[in-house]
Amino acid sequence: MRIRSMHLVLALAALWLFAQPAAAQNFGVRAGASANPDQFYFGVHADTGPIVEELHFRPNLELGVGNDLTLVGVNFEFVYPFPIEDTDWNIYPGIGPALNIVNFNDNTDTHGGINIVLGVEHRDGFFAEIKVGAIDSPDFKFGVGYTFGR
């Protein structure tokens, strides 16, 4: 029964992630590694564009595998890009809550967390970021990705 609940949560998160107006959003892919738990992760994200001045809402869905468990992170992150003068690059700090669904030995638990983000992004869509997690989010993540349609 818990696996069914996890599938329902994932389906609802995916619908929510992609239900925003398409004209105002860009979508992308991401992958990386995390520590505690030690995992490889991959996922998808959306970028709403500026919602207030330069503040962007960048929800993402990440699937982590390894360390004898599966972790699904539904992250609701806000980032604020700052241009790096005379380049095509931005640096962005960010923060947001996370819903972490952990499956270990066929037992599924759901935990809340917080992610603190720091990244760099090119105007063509490539980005690299680190995340530091608090509460029940992975302690550290390093990832790279690409946002289409930039």
pLDDT, residue 22, reads 46
Where residue 16 sits, what CATH number does that domain have?
2.40.160.20
H-helix or E-strand containing 127?
strand 126-135
Q: What is the pLDDT of residue 12?
A: 54
CA 81 – CA 50 distance, rounded (Å): 10
Residue ranges making up the domain that contains 55: 2-147
- Predicted TM-score (pTM) of the model is 0.81
Cβ-contact 29, 43 below 8 angstroms: yes
Q: Letter for the amino acid at 70?
A: T
Q: What is the DSSP letter of 24?
A: G
DSSP 44-72: EEEE--EEETTEEEEEEEEEEEETTEEEE
Closest C-alpha to 2, from 110, 112, 108: 108
77-109 pLDDT tens trace:
999 999 999 999 999 999 999 999 999 988 999
**Quick one: CA dihedral 142, 126, 63, 47, positive or negative?**
positive
- Predicted pLDDT of residue 5: 57
**How many domains, the chain?**
1
Which residues in the chain show pLDDT less than 50? 1, 20-23
